[in-house]
């Protein structure tokens, strides 16, 4: 049994790198159902509950320190690649489809919470708020909201499982829906003009050791500065010190996204590595006590997905959106930048840049959306905050 910090950290690093490496090398079908980030979480959780390490004072301190340091640095690095001006160039029609997809997801979550709130645990509003963050942004937003609102570690596996299963089913449906596009577009009387193309900028520089260390240092400095500023800001309700920290780091990243530094090839892979490690750290604190809620929460997740589909279809009818744009806007949020461009490529290659930018927009908004949903759902909870 491990009770010191460095062997514990070594195992987490190995676990964090294992599944992304296997996916990239072998591309097993398993990864289309359970993404590497989910497999990492489940694998490290299994190690934790099997007693691979014990919650000594040193390891508990290391877990807290790693989470505090990695989260704002991760969000800063992710925002570096977000070009808001390029997103705005997509035009009103594409942004309107994205807004409708997001509105339908959030409305569905509120409706499902009202239906399930007495059956879910007292922290059910936290679980659905965290789900809203990842279904409008991505895994990094999920972690940011989870830490900001204090979702118990033992309930996170249920959220991840619902996310993975619903996402997998939705991907299959969307990839199979292309043949129904003409009928859907006739029903909505859709405007099928292609969106405006975006200009792709090529990375500048190399991802050498010096650049990696430089960016790692910059990210940690920004994270620590954000934490220091957050302590000075007023705290009220769900706007905790952690929430201030992640919001400040996000804004700093967005500001720097328009500088030449944003064209470096380092931030994106470094952020992916940080996210995998952060998920492993969170999983290392888990137990299986919360998995009793998994079947019910998965059912709630599928209800959200079905309501999202119905509401988005109605909005498509109202605003004359075509099936391709609706599918891409939906998957850009529920699936993120990893799958939305692939779906777009199967529909029309002209839609690929739009899919990337919409997924990026979801990443920018996800944390704020999740925190806003937490405020709304907590006010509707029969148990209170």
pLDDT in tens, 12-36: 999 999 999 998 888 787 777 677 8
Q: What is the pLDDT of residue 26?
A: 87
Q: What is the pLDDT of residue 202?
A: 54
Q: What is the pLDDT of residue 351?
A: 77
Strand partners, 134: none
Contact by Cβ (8 Å): 263, 201: yes
Q: What is the pLDDT of residue 290?
A: 59
Residue 53: left (phi > 0), alpha (psi -120 to 50), or beta?
beta
Q: What is the pLDDT of residue 199?
A: 45
DSSP 8-state class, residue 376 = H
Task: Retrieve residue 251's tokens.
Answer: 């804004």
Residue linked to tokens 């744009």:
325
DSSP string, 158-213: HHHHHHHHHHHHHHHHHHHGGGGHHHHHHHHT---PPPPP-PPPPP-S---HHHHH
Among residues 197, 167, 177, which one has the least CA distance to residue 322?
A: 177
308-350 pLDDT, tens digit per residue, is 999 999 999 999 998 989 999 999 999 877 678 778 877 776 7
Q: Which residues of the chain have pLDDT under 50?
A: 197-199
What is the C-alpha separation between 232 and 35, in angstroms, rounded? 38
Among residues 18, 282, 329, 356, which one has the least CA distance to residue 130?
A: 282
Q: What is the pLDDT of residue 156?
A: 87
């Amino acid at each position: 049994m491990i009770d010191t910090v460095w062997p514990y950290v070594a195992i987490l690093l190995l676990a964090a790198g294992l599944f992304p490496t296997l996916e990239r090398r072998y591309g097993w079908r398993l990864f289309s159902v359970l993404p590497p980030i989910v497999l990492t979480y489940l694998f490290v959780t299994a190690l934790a509950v099997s007693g691979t390490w014990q919650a000594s004072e040193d390891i508990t301190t290391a877990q807290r320190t790693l989470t505090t340091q990695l989260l704002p640095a991760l969000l800063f690095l992710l925002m570096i690649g977000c070009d808001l001006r390029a997103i705005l160039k997509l035009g009103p029609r594409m942004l309107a489809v994205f807004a409708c997809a997001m509105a339908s997801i959030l409305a569905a979550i509120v409706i499902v919470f009202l239906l399930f709130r007495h059956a879910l645990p007292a922290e059910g509003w936290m679980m659905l708020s965290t789900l809203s963050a990842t279904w409008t942004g991505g895994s990094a937003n999920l972690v940011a909201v989870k830490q900001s609102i204090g979702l118990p570690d033992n309930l996170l596996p249920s959220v991840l499982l619902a996310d993975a299963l619903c996402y997998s089913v939705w991907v299959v449906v969307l990839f199979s829906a292309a043949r129904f596009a003409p009928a859907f577009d006739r029903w909505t009387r859709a405007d099928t003009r292609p969106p405006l193309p975006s200009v792709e900028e090529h990375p500048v520089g190399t991802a050498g050791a010096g650049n990696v260390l430089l960016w790692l240092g910059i990210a940690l400095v920004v994270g620590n500065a954000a934490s220091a500023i957050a302590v000075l800001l007023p705290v009220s309700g769900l706007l905790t010190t952690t929430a201030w920290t992640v919001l400040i780091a996000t804004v700093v990243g967005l500001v720097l996204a328009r500088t030449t530094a944003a064209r470096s090839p380092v931030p994106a892979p470094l952020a992916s590595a940080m996210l995998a490690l952060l998920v492993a750290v969170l999983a290392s604190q888990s137990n299986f006590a919360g998995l009793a809620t998994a079947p019910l929460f998965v059912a709630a997740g599928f209800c959200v997905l079905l309501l999202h589909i119905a509401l988005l279809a109605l909005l498509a009818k109202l605003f004359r959106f075509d099936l391709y744009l609706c599918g891409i806007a939906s998957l850009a949020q529920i699936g993120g930048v990893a799958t939305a461009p692939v779906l777009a490529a199967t529909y029309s290659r002209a839609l690929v840049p739009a899919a990337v930018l919409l997924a990026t927009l979801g990443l920018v908004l996800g944390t704020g959306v999740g925190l806003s949903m937490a405020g709304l759902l907590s006010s509707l909870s029969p148990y209170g905050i």
